[in-house]
Structure 1
């Protein structure tokens, strides 16, 4: 929406979506039920074979690791480390006190959940460290049961649990990595296609405009009023050359592998932008800017430039009666405030629908965590105000 299309309406409300918290609660409830069942089953089995009093250690150790597994999302690496340490310590303690072999079924299930959660979500090194920790628990269990055939089923159970945890964590991780690679390949192909179109079509036409403007300067030489005509052609050539340079920067950006390059000019070019506005026949424009603009982050500097550029374009299109334009760029704490005002008399005109100038400005500003407002001033004219955080609170 461009200036003069009326006051911007309220922002659209996001569509409702299913919150993943319900699934997490359901998963944890099922896991808690399974862990409780495993603890009860193992306690009954130990009491029936070893006699009363031997089941408490397995139940207590299994419950501790089970609780850790249920709160794993608060810190996956810490939870996995704590669970494996408790599991290894329980195996050594059971051996020293001549108790049933550990880790038991409940603890093996809890450790598998911790390993799967960590392998799926943590960085590669941390995930490998957690998997190695689970393997170390199996090694400790195996060493404590050497020479004892009755403890081998426990070692086998823990080995299967470890393999299951690694598989359940690694499978989704690989699928997600594959989806990311596919999405990135599609985005790159789209960027390259757009870059080719811009280079072969748009840049070609802009080059033609520049060449025609240069030829017009030669043709106008010696004719009546040739100074004014030559000045017009010179301005057209300068604008076309700048547009062509900007197009080439955009093409370079699109061809970047990560798309991270910034093409927007920095604040040092604001003075030239405002100065050219008056030279092209627009109202007199004044720029007031703080002295520390060179310390701005590149994304903030580029957004400031684009906001001023679009605001001046809107003034040239929709405020022909304006006599003065003021561009204020100030810093207040950790925020940059950009205000572009004009003194165009009368009410703002309602123009055609479908413009994207104000929409684009708002998207740029809000993408950095800022806010933008635009509308008629109380004393007449129009005002565009954008507030940008220097801290780069970019929305995700």
Structure 2
């Protein structure tokens, strides 16, 4: 594209350089023009008319501007130099009516510098815009990768953790009661089936560029999530109005991750309370357990993912020990952050 765009300018520059020198030779004589000897003109010609001189200078300056703006550097530099040299040659050796030779040379040099600077300014501006656009595109890709990583972690960690807990329990009781251990196998199979289904749903969502939503009935999904968590969960959901699906998905994922963390790290937990309430401007949610925080309860990617998800929505997030267990709270605004 750059070469094709520069070819007409190269041709025009070559023609203009030849034309300016030819006119100079026509006015003062080719012998003087080639030997760089100044003197009177060889005869009166219409090329001496100020209108032609102005038009010729304007075309040269436009070409200088165009090269500084558009053509590749290896083409722009010799083209601009050739145009300036042939124009300065003409300004010095041609006779002028209203300007001295020195004034004509200085004027054309100043105008050429101004036009070249203007073209370079536009070139730099376009490059800056292209760099900003590339940075924005890369930032969008990075955000998309982070979102995909969080979604993958939320889905896989929730289901696989449940399967792991049941498998570990089956191993513990297998030595004393194999029948009871076998009774736990259907739960593990169900957890694996749910994991595959969730993964398929997530892949469909990503393939559709996020058009699909994770929840259309947030209250029902929250109750279902609590029932399947394998924890003694008590839920309190107060939603007096519909929540937009994208926000509902974030609420569901945060509660899901909080329950997953409670199942993995809340040692000896006998109670987990999930509270989700809707106010006029925000969704308030909290998940609190009464277990003893395990060695990894204060960190991990799960907390990082929840915090990032909340901050992207312009909300506030807290997670930490309460003295009697572990608390996760979030405040998510109803309006989309701009």
Q: TM-score band, normalised by the shorter chain?
A: 0.3 to 0.5
TM-score by length of 2: 0.48
Q: Could you say which structure has the larger radius of gyration?
A: 2
Higher relative contact order (CA 8 A, sep 6+): 1
